[in-house]
Amino acid sequence: MRSVDTTFSAEMFEWRGPAPYYWLALPADACGYVRVQAAVASYGWGAIPVRVRIGDTEWETSLLPRDGGYVLPVRKNVRLQERLADGDRVAVGMSVAPRGGRAANGTGPTM
């Protein structure tokens, strides 16, 4: 993975909706970093594309706004690979990054 722009740790929680999913709420300092980058990276509904590393696992996803901050979804395959469970404290490396190398408006190269 390329270098990360921010690191943080957060407690994983299950947020039940139409399908249960696991999330990490970003702490205030990580939210500040995201807000600065959001103007150039945000796309629809306040979603922010990010590159994430937890342990040895790296992937692209999007942060979603929640309660004045942001939450990071943690996919099932990541939870399984990294042996994570509800309530675990998780160390995260993250960079705001257009998905697949594309700009927020969908233009540009893909990786």
The total domain count for the chain is: 1
Would you put residue 39 in left (φ > 0), alpha (ψ -120 to 50) or beta? alpha
Residue 98 lies in a domain: no
Residue 108 lies in a domain: no
Mean pLDDT of successive 10-residue segments in the chain (111 residues)? Answer: 80 80 92 80 75 94 89 93 96 81 44 36
Residue 104 lies in a domain: no
Residue 93 lies in a domain: no
Provide the CA 43 distance to its chain's centre, in angstroms.
14
Residue 80 lies in a domain: yes
pLDDT of residue 98: 64
Residue 59 lies in a domain: yes
Neighbours of 85 (CB within 10 A): 9
User: For residue 46, what are the domain limits?
Assistant: 6-85
Residue 67 lies in a domain: yes
